[in-house]
Structure 1
Amino acid sequence: MATRFTYPGVYLEEIESAVRPIVGVDTSVAAFVGLTLEGPRTPTTVNSWTEFDTVFGGLWTGSELSYAVYQFFLNGGAKAIVVRVGGDTQYATIDLGDGVKLRARAAGTAGNTLTATVKHDAADSKHYTLTIKVSGTSAETYEISIDPALRGRWLDRALETSRLVEPTDGSPVDKRPPEGDKTATSAADVTLSATDVIGDPVRRTGMQALLDVPIFNLLVIPPQLTRSSSTTDDRDARWAPVIDAAARLCVDRRAMLLLDPPFAWDSVASATSGAGAGLPVTGVAGRNVAVFFPRITISDPAGGPDLTVGPIGTVAGVFARTDTLRGVWKAPAGVDASLAGVRSATVAMTDAENGGLNPLGVNCLRSFPVYSHVLWGSRTCRGNDEVGDPWKYVPVRRLALFIEETLFRATKWVVFEPNDEPLWASIRLNVGAFMDGLFRQGAFQGRTAQEAYFVKCDRENNPQADIDVGVVNMDVGFQPLKPAEFVRIRIQQKRPDA
């Protein structure tokens, strides 16, 4: 509102600036959905493996998600959002009597084979021997005291080193239980169903809980299913609804879905025939999805034998590391895309076999001398050469999603502003400055800014008909960088007189 001048003197006015700096959104926030040992059931952000270990119970052989998160942070990830789904974890317990109870450290049926034997010391009423057995074979023996002067030998202190049992919460540790053999109560393993993962958008359960999360860029859902039959493997069919729902969610939230290879892809031949028949996600939604092959073998930091897991947790970490070091426009693949923590791939491939999968849109994990295990593909599920989709490459699609999400958030101030040239000029100024910043970082192809991108918002693309119905149009275009998938070196002889 114009100042009304009434008295002679100096008047001060603060004028609103047309400059509204645009800051790019995060590009490598990974959302994980699956089983965890414990923890909240609402989307929870963790910024390190230590934080996941504290909040969700760390590594657990019953949770493929826990190993995916571990691999994510090991390979360069910095921020994860975890959604815990499935039933509550059960533990076998052993009632020693007189209120003293033990709980198996391993969740589920792993603790059902435990038994405990209590033997008293006839010469000392404050001492007893506790023997823990696994399937009837003695595994651990402890000399326990309830003498207040020997606090270091009480039950809770003695079992601190046990790998099998621990006192239950609230169990007395200053009582001597009666003699005898005690068996564990039965506990069941937690199972995961497609319904658990898909969830309900109204009640915000399962992956639908991510609807309330401000932003995530990568979605990782390890396909943890048990075979329902020893003769027919139907896990891919049972998991298909999860993939479809996750793809729709990623389209709505401008994110990328990373997929493990289907269970049926256990060889190069089966992967080639399967991908030739159709990737797990087809149609337009495939632009926001990428599938990786084969599964990988990793060492178990918890001390168990090597594990065969899906690669998507590791791949998500490589995506995050590449974003940090090079930018979202750089393909997260190549000799720099090394896979930390990977012992081997379950299927070794030759160049020719890789050459059969890459044109079908399957991203392969390879192993090369010197470079070891690397990610060797960067195509979306629209990356089949026969499709000819402009969004066939992962970095091109992710850069577009990054720009879309940034501008979606950064232009909300435009709503209800007077729709005329001053507004259009402000839009061109701010959006143009953001795009120019990306150009200077090397995000676009082109020698000059005019070749690399454009921002158009003027009378030409905002006719009076659109102004009359309250619409303002801004057109933003960019020249993407395509990854150099194939390096051709031409060698010829040079004549002395040439």
Structure 2
Amino acid sequence: MPQYLAPGVYVEEVPSAIKPIAGVGTSTAGFIGAVADDVTMPLLPGRSGVTAAGEAEPADFHSVAPAGEAQLVDGWETFKNLFGDIQQGNHTLAHAVYGFFNNGGGRCWITRVAPVDADAEPSDEDLAGALETFAAIDEIALVAIPGAVSDAVQTALLDHCENQYLQDRFAILDGRQTTTLTKEAIQGDVRDSSYGAIYYPWIDVGATDADGNKVYQPPSGHIAGVYARVDTERGVHKAPANEVIRGALGVEALVSKAQQAGLNPEDINVIRKFGGNITIWGARTLAGKEQAEWRYVPSRRLFNFLRESIDEGTQWVVFEPNAPELWSKIRRNVSAFLTTVWASGALLGNTPEQAFYVRCDETVNPAAVRDAGQLVVEIGVAMVRPAEFVVFRISQWAGGIQ
């Protein structure tokens, strides 16, 4: 404390007990994909690409981004300057990223894996290993490896999201290209997990091969953009379903309502064609029947958002005196944040008291806990869940006055 020796008036700055918790971002994506070393890159601004003698000048072109390093991309032009326009050496990743921005995405991190040549596919080991480049990037909330449908790569994606030091991101998986409408055919042997969702079938975005044949694209990049759009317009608690995929012209396999009735209970999210629109018609995670509380995509993503926001917003608590004054500050700040979340419609209840509770007192912090250097805060939230099955009961009425 300051020491006062002479009479007078002294003004002190006292830190406020209010330390607002800000909601973290939920729509920054992380993509991994193949980009060949020899892709054609765009010209640098103000360059012609040729010397005075009419010869090609390589120095006039952008250099392709180095492999194995995550690059921040905030728009399609940035992607082209780092990885080239859509072409043979990058087409799967490029279509996915274009679909991400076209559907509402704003920021993403991209790690390039370099195949041996433009026609080769990178190994599962290289694709899975590239996930390590995302581990230290805290803002990533969605992760996808467009077109990678092997058990090894998709399991690595789920492992990455479930990592005990992360648990703040969600995997978007592409289903296999198959006409057999079973969980096994679409999902393979990828294990169940609430930290990911899988989508089927692949989509038509107008891409063709050298012979003019239609080339269907994996939907994960476009769907990540839909996630971002819904987060912006409605909030992370809104299911990213019953939403049109912008840029999709068709689907590789038409799935009827009866056929989807066999896939939806198995946690396969189907993309269907309604009229001229290609629409996401499912919002289930891969949690499985054993984790029914995490069945829906918005439930898992909302919980990730709450956990990460509270984690980042309470770092100031570490090493503070573990006493009732601190407990009161924590209750006040966490409750204020959850009240804001409740007001946005993300929590169930007519009042904040019905929607959540925050307990941080001597009941959860007895002497034994405090002696171990721990401070425990218990939080309960009532999350809203999507109206997946809407039932109208209609009957005949004789009419007249009741």
TM-score category, normalised to shorter length:
0.7 to 0.9
In the alignment, which residue of structure 1 is the partner of 2:4?
A: 5
1:159-238 correspondence runs (5 A): 189-199=119-129, 206-224=130-148
Following TM superposition, by how much is the alpha carbon of 1:343 offset from its aligned partner in structure 2, in angstroms? 1.4
Q: TM-score, with normalisation over the residues of structure 2?
A: 0.87
Task: Answer whether contact 2:96 2:222 (CA < 8 A) is retained.
Answer: yes
Any unmatched runs of 5+ in structure 2?
40-63
Residue 223 of structure 2 corresponds to residue 315 of structure 1: yes
Q: Structure 1 CA distance, aligned partners of 2:124 and 2:184? A: 26
With structure 1 as the length reference, what TM-score do the two structures score?
0.71
CA distance in 2, matches of 1:379, 1:209: 28
* Residues 270/300 of structure 1: CA separation in 2 closer, same or farther (3 Å cut): closer
Q: Which has the higher strand share?
A: 1
| 2:19 paired residue number | 20
1:461 partner SS: coil
Query: Where does residue 156 of structure 1 map in the other structure?
Result: none
Shift of 1:88: 6.2
Partner in structure 2 of residue 260 of structure 1: 174
Alignment check: 8 A CA contact 1:298 1:306 kept: no
**Equivalent position amino acid for 1:255 in 2:** R
Amino acid at match of 2:248: V
Give, in angstroms, the shift of residue 325 of structure 1. 0.3
Q: Secondary structure at the match of 1:34?
A: strand
2-side partners of 1:198 and 1:282: how far apart? Answer: 16
Distance 1:247 1:363 in 2: 17
1:46, 1:52 within 8 Å by CA — same for their partners in 2?
Answer: yes
Alpha-carbon offset, residue 21 of structure 1: 1.0
Sort the Cα spacing of 1:426 and 1:88 in 2 relative to 1 into closer, same or farther, 3 A. farther
Work out the CA distance in 2 between the residues paired with 1:191 and 1:369. Answer: 36
Tell me how far apart the structure 2 counterparts of residues 302 and 415 of structure 1 sit (CA, whole Å): 57
Contact 1:435 1:453 in 2 (8 A): yes
Does residue 395 of structure 2 align to residue 497 of structure 1? no
Residue identity matched to 2:123? S
- The one-letter code of the counterpart of 2:11 is L
- Residue 282 (structure 1) aligned with residue 310 (structure 2): no
Query: Is the contact made by 1:281 and 1:381 (CA closer than 8 Å) also made in structure 2?
Result: no
Other-structure match for 1:57: 84
Report deviation, 1:68.
Answer: 0.6
Q: 1:301 to 1:473 in 2, by over 3 A?
A: farther
Q: Deviations over 1:327-359 (max 9, x none)?
A: 00000001xx10111111111111111111111
Cα distance 1:342–1:13, how it changes in 2: closer, same or farther (>3 A)? same
Change (3 A) 1:436 1:418: same
Indicate the residue corresponding to 1:83 in structure 2. 111
Distance 1:430 1:16, change over 3 A: same
Letter in 1 for 2:145: I
Aligned residue runs from structure 1 range 432-443, under 5 A? 432-443=335-346
d(CA) in 1 for partners of 2:190, 2:13? 54
Q: Which amino acid aligns with 2:401?
A: D
Structure 2 counterpart of 1:92: none
Amino acid at match of 1:395: P
CA 1:29–1:280: 2 relative to 1, 3 Å: farther
**Equivalent residues of 2:155, 2:191 under 8 A apart:** no
How far apart in 2 are the matches of 1:319 and 1:312? 10
The Cα shift of 1:282 comes to 2.5
Cα RMSD for the two superposed structures: 2.0
Determine the C-alpha separation between the residues in 2 that align with 1:307 and 1:77: 23
Partner residue of 1:399?
Answer: 302
CA contact (8 A) 2:70 2:111 kept: yes
1:249 to 149, 160, 175: 160
Contact (CA 8 Å) 1:366, 1:376: kept in 2 or not? Answer: yes
Determine if the alignment matches structure 1 residue 484 to structure 2 residue 387: yes
Distance 2:208 2:252 in 1: 19
* Aligned counterpart, 1:66: 94
| C-alpha contact (below 8 Å) 2:116/2:122 kept by paired residues | no
1:403-450 superposed Cα distances (whole Å, 9 cap, x missing partner): 111112111111100000111111111111111111111111111101
Cα pair distance change 1:323/1:279, threshold 3 Å: farther
Structure 1 position 461 matched with structure 2 position 385? no
Within 1, Cα distance between the matches of 2:7 and 2:362?
Answer: 42
- Report percent identity of matched pairs: 35
Aligned to 1:33: 32
1:475, distance to aligned residue in structure 2 (A): 1.2
Question: Given that residues 181 and 263 in structure 2 are in contact (C-alpha distance below 8 angstroms), is that contact kept between their aligned partners in structure 1?
Answer: no
Based on CA coordinates, which of the two structures has the bigger radius of gyration? 1
Change (3 A) 1:281 1:408: farther
- Please identify, of 307-316 and 394-403, the stretch whose mean Cα deviation from structure 2 is larger: 307-316
Distance 1:301 1:48, change over 3 A: farther
Whole-Å Cα distance in 2 between the matches of residues 309 and 191 of structure 1?
Answer: 15
The alpha-carbon deviation at position 242 of structure 1 amounts to 1.5
**How many angstroms apart in 2 are the aligned matches of 1:463 and 1:62?**
61
Shift in Å, 1:273: 5.1
Q: Partners of 1:388 and 1:241 in 2: how far apart?
A: 23
Partner of 1:390: helix, strand, or coil?
Answer: helix
Partner of residue 294, structure 1: 201
